[in-house]
Amino acid sequence: MSDFDSELDASGLNCPLPILRAKKAIAGLEGGQTLKIIATDPGSVKDFEAFCKQTGNELLSSGEEGGKFVFMIKKS
């Protein structure tokens, strides 16, 4: 059982692509569903915080795993 409904690998991509692809992925989710995002751009940490603040989606977690950044976003 996974704790997310959809996954997006944005490794190797610079902002704004991870944000843009996340926006599109979230648009395809139901309210309450969770998207996991993997990114390598260090700027993505601040970007996803700002993104969630502005869109009202909830940033459940933001962390680092094996040199990559992992975000969990719950659609509002």
- Contact set with other proteins (CB under 8 A): 13-17, 19-20, 23-24, 43, 46-47, 50-51, 54-55
Nearest to 37 by CA among 3, 9, 74, 68: 9
CB of 3 to other proteins, least distance (A): 25
- Rounded distance, CA 50 to CA 24, Å? 16
Q: Which is nearer to other proteins, 1 or 56 (CB)?
A: 56
Looking at 4, 13, 15, 29, which residue is catalytic? 15
Distance CA 11, CA 46 (A): 16
Helix (H) or strand (E) holding 70: strand 68-74
Nearer to other proteins, 41 or 74 (CB): 41
Active site residue 15: yes
Which C-beta is closer to other proteins: that of 47 or that of 74?
A: 47
**Longest distance between any two alpha carbons in the chain, whole Å:** 31
Residues with active-site annotation: 15
